[in-house]
Amino acid sequence: CIINVGETVVYDAAKDGFISSGYLTDGIVCHFSSAVVAGITATLVASPVDVVKTRFMNSPAGVYRGAIHCAQQTAQQEGLMAFYKGFNASCLRLVSWNIVLWLSYEQLKKSVKSHYSNKV
């Protein structure tokens, strides 16, 4: 859920920002760039949650009192960068997914608009 909201909101905001600033026009390069921004941002937001979830679920019973305790112990023992272990692999996965998702969506949207505008 965190990733889905992050991807959608950031993609739209990045796309609007690129277009309104004049850096890019509404097209494949803009959609690609916005998808990359969305994927990186989603990874930045989701990585800490994923690390805590994985550590908590894989730990023997009694090691942590809960997810918050797991997060506290991780931060105290390993520092804040521990929440971004596996970042590169996760980022590659999410950026790739966002590129496929948003480029497909935009091209499909363009085709549908074109199809229905020719019917009138």
Stretches in the chain below the pLDDT threshold 50? none
Q: What is the mean pLDDT of the chain?
A: 94
Give the chain's end-to-end CA distance (angstroms, integer). Answer: 39
pTM of the entire predicted model? 0.86
| pLDDT value of residue 120 | 58
pLDDT of residue 3: 75
Q: What is the pLDDT at residue 4?
A: 83
Measure the CA–CA gap between 16 and 47, rounded to whole angstroms. 26
**pLDDT at site 106:** 97
How far is it, in rounded angstroms, from Cα 82 to Cα 20?
Answer: 37
CA–CA distance, 101 with 10 (Å, rounded to integer): 14
